[in-house]
Structure 1
């Protein structure tokens, strides 16, 4: 796969976090990690239109660069460009795990064992997301935030599979490349995140200052 096309789509899917339903976003990322570009070209533009998710100019350019070469319908792609500003995130975040998470968090333990000291991985953090204004802990969702210097789509797919095995059917995994301008969703999550572990590339690729 052309690495520029792959990177364009990965960055687009990062920018769609918090705006696209979780059950769709994780599948789009899984297909990208597997190189299923034809499937993405058929489904992503149509899903954006169905769920009325408008793209700004930068996102639209990423969509064009990523999917037009793989046969996406030009009319559908061009119809995704919105006229209004992108809506700010509807979610709030907290470092505090909900009560239903055991005192020894088995997911964090597994992530630590998988990613600590790993090549191309920088910092690994997690936050808990809730719909803005929601009370109670039943709707809390883990959001994983990882910096990686290479292979971001495949690492995303790998970590999604890990979380699904551990019971999260619609995992939220944000693998962030170097020099990526973080959207508001990610900035809010990072502001209320805790460190899980650091990979081999951690020293120069921290999400939060030490």
Structure 2
């Protein structure tokens, strides 16, 4: 595993990892396009602009942050701009509770649910497939062979392909988030502690964009960390593409 903390330094790691966690906690509570934009800013190293971008947006939307997240925004701005406060930080609501998601998550696309919902388990384990192709179903799912080419699509292959060989990646799953009616693709990637989660997010996001899904949400989290209700729900309603490589891993055990 490539531990990025020595390269970034203690303060750099605290800023990058803290802002990454903050954006994870905003998933499902802010517009998807905005979240993708700010995550791209983090991956590009644009730390100086992120606190104003976040504080201004959550103030507008009425989305609360925790006391620790507000402190992180203040520390980040203070590091780059002296004693200045983040934009509209005094208008940001404070709450240490993260609400349950209003979305529902499913392991297959909406068109499959429309015709065969009764046959689809709440969570679909595709990790035991005999080959690399996602439509080569594992023996345990033989009853769904007639749906094999509808359970996943070419875009689902993107994260599996682009992350193949990355030793920091422990598991990969995908859920469809509803509403809207057609669903939003949510890719969930569990990575080792010390991995640059923001870089892995960018790698997957760019691969999905190249395959035509610019609206997909890519959630990259460190193994062993507490997940938000949103991510727990997404994992519970996901299709597992790559099983955790350690016992009791986050995607397999949560």
TM-score > 0.5, shorter chain as reference: yes
Confirm or deny that 1:23 pairs with 2:67. no
Q: CA deviation at 1:98?
A: 2.6
Q: Matched residue pairs, number? A: 202
Match of 1:189 among 224, 230, 234: 234
State how far apart, in whole Å, the 2-side matches of 1:7 and 1:84 are. Answer: 19
Q: CA deviation at 1:66?
A: 4.2
Q: CA deviation at 1:67?
A: 4.2
Which runs of no fewer than 5 residues in structure 1 stay unpaired?
Answer: none
Match of 1:148 among 183, 186, 191: 191
Map 1:60-209 to 2 at 5 A.
Answer: 60-71=70-81, 73-74=85-86, 76-82=88-94, 85-99=97-111, 103=150, 105-131=153-179, 137-138=181-182, 140-149=183-192, 150-198=195-243, 202-204=245-247, 205-209=249-253
The structure that has the greater radius of gyration is 2
Q: Is the 8 A contact 1:48 1:54 kept in 2?
A: yes
Q: CA deviation at 1:75?
A: 5.9
Q: State which drifts further: 148-157 or 86-95.
A: 86-95
TM superposition score normalised by structure 2: 0.71
TM superposition score normalised by structure 1: 0.84
Distance 1:178 1:66, change over 3 A: farther
Match of 1:37 among 47, 60, 73: 47
**SS in structure 1 at match of 2:232:** helix
Q: CA deviation at 1:124?
A: 0.3
Which runs of no fewer than 5 residues in structure 2 stay unpaired?
Answer: 1-7, 113-148
State how far apart, in whole Å, the 2-side matches of 1:62 and 1:51 are. Answer: 20
Q: CA deviation at 1:208?
A: 1.6
